[in-house]
Chain A
Amino acid sequence: MSLETVVGGAPERRRWLSVLAKAMPRELVEAWEALKERPTFTALRNAETGLVLVRGRMGGTGDAFNVGEMTVTRAAVRLPEGETGVGYVGGRDKRHAELAAAVDAMMQSPTLRERAQEIVEQLARQQQARREAAARKAAATRVDFFTMVRMRSPD
């Protein structure tokens, strides 16, 4: 079953699921354990690891081809009030998938949403910082190539 089928189209939810999936497992566990009150949850589907076929299009517009298979772990959990969350994460970290699902469920609960939102924003900031650090590192070693044609004077 595709993630699309499970999650539906809400762009907001796509964003937080993406942030949760891309978080470092350690960061998510730390954020979760820093919660003052952690909701209890039961597994609707225990965390399980499998393969997902990743497909791509050459240049974004060409014919679809199979890029390769990716290890994915997924889980679905339910909070006592009935909110149900799903977590699909890369790799084999079951705790990561469970907690991503738990935070997804919290995001759907009117009473827990605020706390979950903080986790998501914190993870998003950490990801942004990582991206910027990587970009800086790359920028520091950037080489500009000049060609003879560009160096010639206009006349």
Chain B
Amino acid sequence: MSQTLDLAKIHPGFLDPVRESQAVFRKVMDAVARPGSVADLAFAVDGPPGLDCAAAAVALTLFDFETPVWLDPALAGGEAEGWIRFHAGCPLTPETSRAAFALVARAQDCPPLSAFNQGDAKYPDRSTTVIVQVAGLEGGEPVVLTGPGIKTETVIAPRGLPHGFWEQLETNNAQFQYGVDVMLVAGPLLLALPRSTRAQIRKG
């Protein structure tokens, strides 16, 4: 992965990298601590075409030279790839099972969650964090979240997830301590579904 970047096409990143990445980090940390709560990252960065504002902010904040990143085919090779390489300086990997982060621009084409790195017994934290861009965080089929960080239950209704996603998430949750962590983003909004969270489609 060392083709020359065409710098003329690269959009700016954070204007003030230290402050902005700290602010985004805090928001993302809170979102993961309280699964289902929605973080608004509109203040951070516009990002390149194809990448939602929240996904771009997470990329600049969390990706670095130690985190292999998997990009879905809609992002790989495009402007977003150049932008991520330039600003985050992270290695890209074509193998889902080696990725520390995965960026999925088209939720419908998201590979099965079991294809990503599930972590191992010594280092379950090394599993992939999968960032999925969805059509919206509201207006879809209601899903009830329970688990650590949620007092009773939280109801979310993201739109545009592939068929069978929640079943996959249930399987993912069942193998805790292993498993991937998922973040759903839509525009500037972000919602986290860590592996400890149980998600069930609301019946009736």
A residues whose Cβ falls under 8 Å from a Cβ of B: 1-2, 4-9, 42-46, 48, 76, 78, 82-84, 86
Q: How many of chain B's residues have a CB under 8 angstroms from any CB in A?
A: 16
Contact status B10-A44, CB under 8 Å: yes
In the bound complex, CA of A43 to CA of B16 (Å): 11
Q: Smallest distance from the beta carbon of B68 to chain A beta carbons, Å?
A: 15
B148 / chain A contacts, CB cutoff of 8 Å: none
Residue contacts A-B, CB under 8 angstroms, 27 given: A1-B5, A1-B86, A1-B89, A4-B2, A5-B2, A5-B3, A5-B4, A5-B5, A6-B5, A6-B7, A6-B86, A7-B4, A9-B4, A43-B12, A44-B7, A44-B10, A44-B12, A44-B13, A45-B86, A46-B15, A46-B16, A76-B7, A76-B86, A82-B8, A83-B8, A84-B8, A84-B10
Residues on the A chain within 8 Å of B10, using CB:
44, 84
- By beta carbon, the residue of chain B nearest A4 is B2
- Please determine whether B4 and A8 come into contact, CB atoms closer than 8 angstroms: yes
Identify the B interface with A (CB < 8 A).
2-5, 7-8, 10, 12-13, 15-17, 85-87, 89
Are B12 and A84 within 8 A (Cβ)?
no
| CB within 8 Å: A-B pair count | 40
3 closest cross-chain pairs (CB), A and B: A84-B7, A8-B4, A5-B2
Are B13's CB and A45's CB within 8 A?
yes
Give CA–CA (A7, B87) in the complex, Å.
15
Which single residue of chain B is at the shortest CB-CB distance from A48?
B17
Task: Let me know if A6 and B4 touch, CB within 8 A.
Answer: yes
Query: B2: shortest Cβ distance to chain A, in Å?
Result: 5
CB contacts (< 8 Å) of A84 on chain B: these are: 7-8, 10
Complex interface: chain B residues within 8 A of A78 (CB): 12
Question: Given that A2-B2, A6-B7 are contacting pairs, would A42 and B85 also be in contact in the complex, using a CB cutoff of 8 Å?
Answer: no
User: Which residues from A are CB-within-8-Å of B4?
Assistant: 5-9
- B85 near A1: Cβ-Cβ < 8 Å: yes
Closest residue of chain B to A44 (Cβ to Cβ) is B12
B9 to chain A, nearest CB (A): 9
Distance in Å from the Cβ of B12 to the closest Cβ of chain A? 6
Is the CB–CB distance between A86 and B2 below 8 Å? no
Contacts of A76 in B (CB 8 A): 7, 86
- Scoring A1, A8, A78, A86 by chain B CB atoms within 10 A of each residue's CB, the highest score goes to A1
